[in-house]
Amino acid sequence: MPNVIKITGLAEVQRMLREAPPKVAFIGLGRALHAAGTEFAGAIYHACPETEEGARSGQAADGDIPHLQDELQLDVYMYADGGKAQVHFGKLDYLAAWLEFGHRRVGHKPGMKLLGFQKPDPFVRRAADESAENAIAVFVDFMDKAVGEFFGA
């Protein structure tokens, strides 16, 4: 019977990725990154500064601009030596950055009059911090399953 590897934490996952057969590391890593990214995306979705009464972020007067929540995307990129999960807002990344870090609108010269101001609301950083432990646990669990499938456990 093959040895069964029990993964209990992030350090063990990193060691396993260095020592595991490439196929296990590649397939398991892709699944684990997608699962962990889904945790982050869910937390960010719920943290988006949308309101109940319909005045949602990104909404123009004629309603033709999509909402941040509707544009939230998760992409997983795999490389020969690893991979990454990227959660973003597609075409509305600029709007999310304005909300996250704040933004001021000014008119053109000569007056450069202040037309509006958006106070910073670090919703993405807050959501990422709150969901990090869960995302790591899910990542570790998926890597554990990938190793178990490979070794028949």
Burial class (CB in 10 A: 0-12, 13-18, 19+), 128: middle
CA 84 centroid distance within chain: 10
Query: Is residue 28 predicted with pLDDT exceeding 70?
Result: yes
Q: How many domains does the chain have?
A: 1
Does 86 reside within a domain? yes
pLDDT value of position 52: 47
Does 3 reside within a domain? no
Does 36 reside within a domain? yes
Q: How far, in Å, CA of 153 to CA of 28, rounded?
A: 15
- The predicted model gives 29-33 an average pLDDT of 91
- The predicted model gives 56-84 an average pLDDT of 75
Does 1 reside within a domain? no
Does 49 reside within a domain? yes
Q: 110-123 pLDDT, tens per residue? A: 888 888 888 888 99
Does 89 reside within a domain? yes
64-68, 124-128, 130-134, 136-140: segment of lowest average pLDDT: 64-68
**Residue 63, domain extent:** 10-151
**Concatenated DSSP letters for 59-116?**
--TTS-SPPHHHH-EEEEEEETTEEEEEEE-GGGHHHHHHHHH-EEEE--TTT--EEE
Query: Residue 26 corresponds to which amino acid?
Result: F
Does 30 reside within a domain? yes
Q: What would the two tokens of residue 91 be?
A: 């075409």
pTM as predicted: 0.72
Does 118 reside within a domain? yes
